[in-house]
């Protein structure tokens, strides 16, 4: 038995998923692999990168005190999948942990496919979103799990996080995406939960942000909440504009939208860092670079840059790959 699950980089549309907005991530050529044997008893996992052996009895409920601590993800996944069999397997990964490239969602899906193969990708993504929330206590959205569960090779994954409709959009081969690692972070203990609360506050004044306009935002008195709402509404529009610009080969327009997205995440949504702002600014000044932005939850992690092929930049060139699956 062997399963693989890729990481993802979000090209545009951050902090929009938990209000039913639009996101455009792509699964990347870095993977978590789970390899071993199906058993009739417990789930027993070891990892090349993490300490200890995780042992979860079949039928166990979620154990928030699980040791070693990465076992919380295994416990969360198992408690939701309720598998009819166990597994004894070893995990390896080429996705950097804590870098905003969804190493945790890849872990969840790699384990999930080892425990079941009779669930649709969308149902699995919803369950694994719950697993992430259980394991971390952070009210994260659906983007990471749904992208990793439904991605197609060569395509970006446009997700409508309200209907969960997925549209696969070709990633042009005459541009490159480069990911640069900036700093380790976890969303636990970050202001991620505060941002979710601020969006809920905005919605209590003007209704669902997905259906609100900038005119509606004018009715929000609180300056901070006003800015958060403005980010979400403008970011949803940028996702649509970006996919169209990419499809029509208008790369300078697409790059400009990435820069605007970064500005908005930094100023209105306050999830960037000075270091990320500086890196994005210097990357954008390099000839051949169309645009650059922070990617994912923020507060550290990575920036993603779109550039002409062959542009010399630090970081990893990433390719769009297919979804998590069982491979044998």
Task: List residues near ligand GLA by CB under 6 A.
Answer: 14-15, 17-18, 140-141, 143-144, 296-297
Which residue is catalytic, options 144, 216, 222, 314?
144
d(CA 175, CA 237): 22
Q: Minimal distance in Å, beta carbon 165 to ligand GLA?
A: 17
d(CA 23, CA 270): 18
When the beta carbons of 291 and 297 are compared against ligand GLA, the nearer one is 297
Q: Minimal distance in Å, beta carbon 100 to ligand GLA?
A: 7
Task: Please identify which residue in the block is written with the tokens 């060139």.
Answer: 317
When the beta carbons of 10 and 180 are compared against ligand GLA, the nearer one is 10
Q: Minimal distance in Å, beta carbon 14 to ligand GLA?
A: 4
DSSP letters, 217-241, are HTT--SHHHHHHHHHHHHHHHHHHH
Q: What is the helix (H) or strand (E) element at residue 215, kind and residue range?
A: helix 214-217
Tokens of 133: 């929330």
Q: Minimal distance in Å, beta carbon 23 to ligand GLA?
A: 7
Task: For residue 103, report the phi and psi dihedrals to the nearest 5 degrees.
Answer: -60, -35
d(CA 235, CA 65): 38
Task: Please identify which residue in the block is written with the tokens 């990633």.
Answer: 171
Closest CA to 72 of 5, 132, 10: 132
Tokens of 122: 């969308």
248: preceding bond cis by omega (within 30 degrees): no
Catalytic residue list contains 117: no
Q: Minimal distance in Å, beta carbon 127 to ligand GLA?
A: 15
Catalytic residues: 144
């Amino acid at each position: 038995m062997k399963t693989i699950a890729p990481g993802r980089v979000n090209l545009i549309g951050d902090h929009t998923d938990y209000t039913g907005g639009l996101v455009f991530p792509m699964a990347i050529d870095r993977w978590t692999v789970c390899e071993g044997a199906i058993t009739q008893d417990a789930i027993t996992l070891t990892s090349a990168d993490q300490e200890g052996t995780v042992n979860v009895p079949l039928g166990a409920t979620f154990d928030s005190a699980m040791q070693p601590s990465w076992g919380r993800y295994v416990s969360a996944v198992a408690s939701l999948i309720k598998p009819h069999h166990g597994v004894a397997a070893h995990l390896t990964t080429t996705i950097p942990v804590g870098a905003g490239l969804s190493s945790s969602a890849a872990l969840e899906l790699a384990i999930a496919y080892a425990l079941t193969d009779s669930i649709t990708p969308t149902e699995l993504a919803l369950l694994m979103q719950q697993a992430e929330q259980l394991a971390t206590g952070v009210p994260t959205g659906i983007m990471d799990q749904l992208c990793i569960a439904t991605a197609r090779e060569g395509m970006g994954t446009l997700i409508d996080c309200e209907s969960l409709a997925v549209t696969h959009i070709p990633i042009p081969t005459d541009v490159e995406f480069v990911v640069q690692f900036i700093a380790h972070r976890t969303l636990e203990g970050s202001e991620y939960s505060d941002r979710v609360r601020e969006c809920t506050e905005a919605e209590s004044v003007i209704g669902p942000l997905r259906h609100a306009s900038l005119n509606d935002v004018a009715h929000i008195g609180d300056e901070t909440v006003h800015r958060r709402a403005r980010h979400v509404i403008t970011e949803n529009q940028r996702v649509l504009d970006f996919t169209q610009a990419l499809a029509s080969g208008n790369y300078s327009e697409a790059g400009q939208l990435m820069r605007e997205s970064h500005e908005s995440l930094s100023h209105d949504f306050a999830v960037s860092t000075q270091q990320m702002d500086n890196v994005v600014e210097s990357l954008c000044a390099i000839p051949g670079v169309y645009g650059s932005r922070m990617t994912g939850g923020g507060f550290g992690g990575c920036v993603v840059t779109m550039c002409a092929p062959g542009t010399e930049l630090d970081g990893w060139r990433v390719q769009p790959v297919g979804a998590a699956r069982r491979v044998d």
